[in-house]
Amino acid sequence: MEKEKRILVGMSGGIDSSATCIMLQEQGYEVVGVTMRTWDIPSHFSTPEQEQPDEILEAKALAERLGIEHHVADVREEFRNVIVQYFIDEYMKGRTPNPCVMCNPLFKERILCEWADRTGCAQIATGHYCRLEDRKEHRYIVTGDDPTKDQSYFLWKLPQEILKRMVFPLGGMTKTEVRAYLAEKGFEAKAKGGESMEVCFIDKDYRDFLREHCPDIDERIGTGWFVDSKGLKLGQHKGFAYYTIGQRKGLEIALGRPAYVLKINPAKNTVMLGDAEQLKAEYMLVEDINVIDLQELLECPDLSVRIRYRSRPIPCQVILLDEGHLLVKFKAEASAITPGQSAVFYDKGRVLGGGFIAFQQGIKKLIAENEERKHVLSST
C-alpha cells in the first residue's frame, strides 16, 4: 500500500484510540499503531505479575484482533525528564502547570512524528475530540462537535509542520456516538470502558506527588504566611507550591468567612487570601505566545479566550505589548487568573493560538499606559 494510505495511530488502549483505529481501517487505511509507555503507577497494572501496564496490553490485544502492525515506545525516562520535571518546576515557581498542553508538542506528537517516519506513514491520527480546517496556507484546530469532550484547548502549541500531518477522526462525533460505534463493531466491553485520568502520571493528590518526586521540597520552600490584600498576616501555610489561584478548600485556616487564594508570591513565600469578588479581573497578561496569524488575532471581531480547560470562552480583545506578550481585555466577567495555565484564543470555534498566563505584577501600569495611548490616538 502507498505511503499516503499508511497512517500511524497513537494507541492508548482506551475507547477513543480504539475507535480511531477501527474507523480508519474501514476507510481503507493501513493502520500502524504505537503505544507510548510514559509512566508506571500501581493503578495501571491489574495484577502484580504484569510486566507491562494495562493500556499496552489492551492496545496489543486490539491490534492483534484488527490485524494491524503495533509497536511499543518505552519513553519513560524522557517523559520524566521533560514533562514531569516541567510539572514540578512550575509548582516550584508558584505557577499552576498545564502538563497536557506541554506534552502534546514537546513529547507525544513529536514522538508520533518520529515513529511515522520510521514506519513509512505519511499521516498521524489520534483520538482527540477536535477538527481541522485549512485556510490559505495554514491549518487550524477547530473545536469538536461534543462540547463536553472538546480537546482543542490542549493543542494550541502544536506547530504547523505537525498539524499538517494530523488526522482527528472523532472530531465530528460525541462520546456517546463513539461508544455506540464501538459496540456496533463488536467491541461491547471496550465501549463500556471508563475514562482515563486527566493527568496521566498523578495517581492521588498532586501535593503528595511533589513530595515524593521532590523530597526536599518542604526544606527548600518552608512554611510561609497567608496574607490579605493589604499584606496583613492571617496565619501560616505549608508552602506556596501547595496552593493554586482560586483554591477555596484545603486551606486549613478559619477566617469566619469563605476565603480564596488570590495571589501567590514565591519570592516572599506568601499566599494572598480574599473573597470571590477579589478574584475577578478585567485584564490579564499572557506570555510565550504561539499564534498562527498575529494580525488576524489582533483584528478578530469575535475573539474569545478560554483561561482553563472546560471553562466558557470569554469575549475579549488583545493588545500586543512586544513579540511574546499580550495584554488581554475581557469583555465579560473573568475570574481566577492563574499563572501557568493556558490562555487559548478562538474565532468562534477556530483556534487562533494561545499563550501562558503570566504573573500579573505590573499589569496596572500597563493598563494605564494603554488607556493613555488610546486617549492620545483619539485626540489626534
> Where are the domains positioned within the chain?
3-191, 222-274, 279-379
Confidence at 371, pLDDT banded by 50, 70, 90: confident
- Asked if the model's pLDDT at residue 194 lies above 90, the reply is no
Alpha helices in 27-84 (DSSP H): 54-66, 76-79
User: In the numeric block, which cell numbers belong to residue 23?
Assistant: 474507523
**197-206, 304-313, 345-354: lowest mean pLDDT where?**
197-206
Strands 166-167 and 224-227: unpaired
* Phi, psi of 225, deg, nearest 5: -115, 135
Which residues fall in the annotated binding site for ATP?
A: 10-17, 36, 127
Is a pLDDT exceeding 80 seen at residue 374? Answer: no
Q: Which residues make up each annotated binding site?
A: 10-17, 36, 127
Does the active-site annotation cover 103? Answer: yes
Q: What secondary structure does DSSP assign to 292-350, as a single string?
A: S-HHHHHH-TTEEEESSTTPPPEEEEEEEEETTEEEEEEEEEEE---TTSEEEEEETTE
* 380 — pLDDT class (breaks 50, 70, 90): very low
* Burial bucket for residue 265 (CB in 10 Å: 0-12, 13-18, 19+): middle
CATH topology of domain 222-274: SH3 type barrels. (2.30.30)
Handedness of CA 190, 192, 197, 203 (dihedral sign): negative
pLDDT of 365 strictly over 50: yes
Judged against a pLDDT cut of 70, whether residue 36 lies above it is answered with: yes
Residue 106 has a pLDDT of 85
CATH superfamily of the 279-379 domain = Translation factors (2.40.30.10)
Residue scoring higher pLDDT (242 or 370): 242
Q: Which three cell numbers stand for residue 272?
A: 494572598
Residues 6+ apart with CB under 8 A from 231: none
Q: What is the mean pLDDT of residues 84-95?
A: 96
Tell me the C-alpha distance between 174 and 179, whole Å: 9
**Tell me, which fold does domain 3-191 have in CATH?**
Rossmann fold (3.40.50)
Region 43-68: what's the mean pLDDT? 94
Residue 43 is predicted with a pLDDT of 87
Q: Which of 21, 100, 121, 200 is catalytic?
A: 200
What number is the average pLDDT over the span 259-287?
A: 97
Can you give the pLDDT at residue 2? 57
Active site residue 113: no
- Mean pLDDT over 12-25 rounds to 96
- Three-class SS state of 75: coil
pLDDT of residue 376: 61
Axis crossing angle, helix 15-26 with helix 54-66, rounded to the nearest 10: 20
Indicate the Cα dihedral angle 102, 104, 109, 114, nearest 10°. Answer: 20
pLDDT score recorded for residue 165: 96
Task: Give the burial class of 156: count Cβ atoms within 10 A of its Cβ; 0-12 exposed, 13-18 middle, 19 or more buried.
Answer: buried
State the average pLDDT for the chain: 93
- Among the options 100, 103, 121, 130, which is catalytic? 103
The x, y and z cell numbers of residue 203, run together, are 495517581
Q: What average pLDDT score do residues 108-113 get?
A: 95
Is 169:24 a contact under the CB 8 Å cutoff?
A: yes
Grid cell locating 194:
471508563
